[in-house]
């Protein structure tokens, strides 16, 4: 299982993923459904910490159908 964290902002967000092998992936992405899908699609299951903000609910709802676990 991978672990991740998303520091949400209205326009851009900072994402960190720790892979099963211990590698760390840091990305600054546009806070859009398309960019989140591109980043997380095809990755192993993950437990993701999402910063509580006005954006967090739609981000969590978007990632959940992709079979990702969420923690807010």
Tell me which of 14 and 44 has the higher pLDDT. Answer: 14
Exposure b/e, 7-38, CB count within 10 A at least 16 = b: ebeeeebebebbeeeeeeeeeeeebeeeebee
**Domains identified in the chain, total number:** 1
CATH number of the domain to which 22 belongs: 3.30.420.40
Query: What is the span of the domain harbouring residue 40?
Result: 2-71
pLDDT in tens, 38-70: 998 888 888 889 988 888 989 988 888 765 555
pLDDT in tens, 24-41: 999 999 999 999 999 988
Query: How many other CB atoms sit within 10 Å of the CB of residue 46?
Result: 20
């Amino acid at each position: 299982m991978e672990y991740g964290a998303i520091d949400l902002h209205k326009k851009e967000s900072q994402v960190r993923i720790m892979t099963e092998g211990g590698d760390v992936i840091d990305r600054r992405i546009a806070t859009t459904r398309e960019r989140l899908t591109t980043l997380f699609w095809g990755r192993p299951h993950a437990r993701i910490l999402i910063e509580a903000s006005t954006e967090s609910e739609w981000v969590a709802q978007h990632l959940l159908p992709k079979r990702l676990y969420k923690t807010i």
